[in-house]
Amino acid sequence: MPEDTPIGPYTANVRTTGLDAVDLVTFPEAFLPKDDLVSTLNQLPDIDSLGCIHVGLRPSIDASNHLFTVADIENLVGILGEIEKIDQSDLGPFSKWLKVQRTDSKFNLGCLFTIDARQKIRICLHPKIVRARVETHALHEHHMVEADLLSLVTLVPTDRSYLTVTLQPVLCSDLLNIETDRPGAHPVEAVNTEASCFDSTPPDHIDIVSVATCTPQINSASSLGSYRQWHQEFRDSFKNAASDDRLSRHHHSAIVLSNFQFLPGNKSGGLSGAFIPVPIDSNELPPYVKVFSWGRDDSTEDKQNRWSTPDDASNTKLEWSSMGYIASLCPTYEEHSTQARMLGFTISRLPRERSRWRSQIGFIDYQLRTASEDSMSGALVFRKQEEK
């Protein structure tokens, strides 16, 4: 992380930048063509500082295919190796893994990048490990090979009074406990149970799991009408990360998720947001945020934990006790009024940093950014939406 420079003997350290100070931006799976990634990285040397950008990649602008051939990946790694500002040591483990892959394999690829305190571009290419149902295909060109490379990114502040922050970037079904070709391949579980595969000792705590997704969501019914929620396998993964002994490094993890609003075939997606394993602390939410919490109703004899519903929010007799919650971008909020939307929020303290003697605070300072097309360049520009 960059050091701030004092601007005078009696002034606080201030860092000025033309960009909003954002620590992490997560985009959906199969979102960015590799040529656009290369173009972006070539422009980064003109920027003083940058938070982490996590994005799912695809080999070209052709939206019908998101899988990379080994030759595609070799070409991308070769191009990245020629960008002077990239710290080339970051590409070493990935290149070593790539050299032993079958040349006819097809992989799904993601990328996390940032700029470090030395003004070097740091980059993490990571292949998808858990194949989704739609990636199991009769045609070879559409069948994804499950990778076996684990990825963690640790941010080390130059000011040692601050703690390190570790992120695990994954793609969609990598988060889920579903069938895989090899036992113990799930990346969230594997960084705990197979930690010896790392060259050095991995961090004891993973603070953020960043998930680039492309997944349909389910529509459920309540007395207040239909509502959309993360499907059960994702909700189970959120809960397991906070409670399963096999996932001890993830017990304090916030899980950040980005999804497409609509998927191919006009399937319902959306619900970009995050899960955090602390009790929900406020009922006051902006209209573009929907919250579902894991907890129980203490006013009943059957105190079984479950996920909350919209009916619970309207029940004045309910005594809800929560242990964690999902905050998501409401899919019906001004649904057709903009080309793209982005939910922003702040975590005041990462869960592992907060004393157990103090009240737990989760997400605060929600912000909605909406995109419109710039009349001059044609590019989509995200602007912060003011409260009405």
Helices then strands, counting H and E runs in the chain, come out as 6, 22
Give the domain range for residue 349. 215-388
Tell me, what DSSP letter sits at residue 13? B
**147 belongs to a structural domain:** yes
DSSP codes of every residue in 161-225: TSPPEEEEEEEGGGGS----SSTT--HHHHHHHTGGGSSSPPPS---EEEEE-----EEEEETTE
Confidence at residue 49, expressed as pLDDT on a 0 to 100 scale: 82
Query: 386 and 285, same structural domain?
Result: yes
Residue 173, in any domain of the structure: no
Domain presence at residue 3? no
* Domain boundary residue, one of 168, 196, 228: 168
Last residue of a domain, one of 168, 202, 224: 168
- Residue 10 in any domain: the answer is no
* 78 belongs to a structural domain: yes
Please indicate, yes or no, whether residues 290 and 154 belong to a single structural domain of this protein: no
Same domain, 250 and 350: yes
Tell me the pLDDT of the chain (388 aa) as tens digits: 444 444 443 334 444 344 567 899 999 999 999 999 999 999 887 777 899 999 999 999 988 899 999 999 999 999 999 999 999 999 999 999 999 999 999 999 999 999 999 999 999 999 999 999 999 999 998 899 999 999 999 999 999 999 999 999 999 999 999 989 888 789 999 999 998 888 888 999 999 999 999 999 988 888 778 889 999 999 999 999 999 999 999 999 999 999 998 888 788 899 999 999 999 987 789 999 999 999 998 888 878 899 999 888 778 778 889 999 999 999 888 766 677 899 999 998 899 998 888 888 899 999 999 888 877 777 778 888 775 5
* Residues 232 and 137 occupy one common structural domain: no
CA distance 74 to 240: 36
Q: Are residues 362 and 219 in the same domain?
A: yes
The answer to whether residues 237 and 112 belong to one domain is no
- Looking at the fold, whether 132 and 233 belong to one and the same domain comes out as no
**Chain centroid offset of residue 41 CA:** 20
Are residue 255 and residue 372 in the same domain, yes or no?
yes
Q: Indicate the residue among 168, 202, 230 that finishes a domain.
A: 168
Does pTM surpass 0.85? yes
* Interacting residues of 121 by C-beta distance below 8 A, sequence separation 6+: 41, 44, 45, 83, 85, 86, 87, 113, 114, 115
Same domain, 257 and 385: yes
Q: Which residues of 60-99 are buried (b: 16+ CB within 10 A; e: fewer)?
A: eeeeeebbbebebbbebeeebeeeeebeeebbebbbeebe
| Residue 235: inside a domain | yes
- Look at residue 143 and tell me if it is in a domain: yes
Count of structural domains within the chain: 2
320: exposed, middle or buried (C-beta count within 10 Å: 0-12, 13-18, 19+)? middle
Task: Please report whether residue 47 resides in a domain.
Answer: yes
Residues 238 and 133 in one domain: no
> What's the residue count for the chain?
388
Do 374 and 254 share a structural domain? yes
CA distance 352 to 163: 11
Q: Do 39 and 146 belong together in one domain?
A: yes
